[in-house]
Amino acid sequence: MAAPYRRPQRNPVSRTTSYEQPGVCRRRAVSRLLKVHDRRGEGAVDPVTKSFGEFPAWWEANKARFGNKKIAMFCTGGIRCEKSTNFLIGEGVEDVFHLKGGILKYLEEVPAEESRWEGECFVFDGRVSVGHGLEEGTYDLCHACRRPISDEDKTQPAYEEGVCCPRCVDEYDEDDRVRFRERQKQIKLAKARGKIHIGTP
């Protein structure tokens, strides 16, 4: 089980200079780190933790990799990276700061011409993904597996609208697909009648 979150021993208030406003960030190390897609794989380290509670154990196992490096933390909404930054300060990490308000604030405030963000940021609402100015992005959700799908995914042979996408093609069997196809048909009919289809798979 993951270790519970411990409060930083030092006074966190005096160390909240680790905050960075989005506008300041673009002139600092975060501007390099932000040059990633939402897979957050290029240049950024993804701890792949499901919740903040798992972060202390991840840090314990990985801290040797970071030595005296400058650490910039960022996440979608700015809450998780603030917690993890406080945690690292409590662990004695000197040079750590985070993106205040998260990626969403950055996308909202930093104009596209100046932004170092590439791609879209996934959000867990009807917009699926957003870009600069928090404009709704180009991703849709696969109605079978609920994963985001890009326009390119839709050109793959494994894609069938409302039924499967390249990522879940092996996760469902033909019985499932019969159900998904039927549901998709109902959604189309409901749309044609101008109603919104609310239902579970």
142 binds Zn ion (CB under 5 A): yes
- Alpha-carbon distance of 33 to 136, in angstroms, equals 23
Q: Which stretch binds Zn ion (CB under 5 A): 26-34, 111-119, 137-145, 191-199?
A: 137-145
- Alpha-carbon distance of 126 to 174, in angstroms, equals 28
CB of 126 to Zn ion, least distance (A): 17
Closer CB to Zn ion, residue 5 or residue 122?
A: 122
75 among known catalytic residues:
yes
CB of 36 to Zn ion, least distance (A): 24
CB of 166 to Zn ion, least distance (A): 8
CB of 162 to Zn ion, least distance (A): 10
Closer CB to Zn ion, residue 24 or residue 187?
A: 187
Which of 29, 57, 141, 145 binds Zn ion (CB under 5 A)? It is: 145
CB of 139 to Zn ion, least distance (A): 12
- Please identify which of the residues 75, 81, 121, 142 carries the catalytic annotation: 75
Closer CB to Zn ion, residue 94 or residue 171?
A: 171
Q: What is the 3-state secondary structure (H, E, C) of the chain?
A: CCCCCCCCCCCCHHHHHHEECHHHHCCCHHHHHCCCCCCCCCCCCCCCCCCHHHHHHHHHHHHHHCCCCCEEECCCCCHHHHHHHHHHHHCCCCCEEEECCHHHHHHHHCCCCCCCCCCCEECCCCCCEECHHHCECCCEECCCCCCEECCCHHHCCCCECCCECCCCCCCCCHHHHHHHHHHHHHHHHHHHCCCCCCCCC
The distance in angstroms from the start CA to the end CA of the chain is 33
Which of 144, 162, 163, 183 binds Zn ion (CB under 5 A)? It is: 144
128 binds Zn ion (CB under 5 A): no
- Each residue 163-192 as x (binds Zn ion by CB under 5 A) or -, in order, gives --x--x------------------------
Residues acting as catalytic residues: 75
Residues engaged in binding Zn ion (CB under 5 A): 142, 144-145, 165, 168
